Amino acid sequence: MSPHAGERIKEIWAASGMSVSEFARRLNCHRQNVYDIFKRKVVDVELLQRISRVLEHDFVAELYGTKGSKVTLKFSVTVEIAEDGQYKITEVQTVK
């Protein structure tokens, strides 16, 4: 039986100590959307990547990969490079 994505996300979120309001803010959605995510058996990869970044947990590998398997994800990254050579990732988007 495949794992229930929403339940697993809720479990990791609860352990983080983050409030629902803060989690929603970081995901750029409403609180009700967070509760809806917790009910989903399947979560699309793009949203799962956002949730993974916020909770610092690799849900994509956990829910869609198996040990020893390879998961290929396509995405674009926007990077700002300062004059001193320091860089900051400002945006990550999945590519279809």
pTM comes to 0.66
| Average pLDDT of span 6-30 | 95
Q: What is the pLDDT of residues 32-82, one digit of tens each?
A: 999 999 999 988 888 999 999 999 998 888 887 655 666 566 677 788 888
Widest distance between CA atoms in the chain: 52
Which residue bears the tokens 């509760």? Answer: 35
CATH 1.10.150.120 fits 5-94, yes or no: no
Question: What separation in angstroms does the CA of 63 have from each of 22, 28, 53, 94?
Answer: 24, 23, 15, 18
For the chain, what are the domain ranges? 5-94
Going by C-alpha positions, the residue among 78, 69, 70, 44 that lies closest to residue 59 is 44
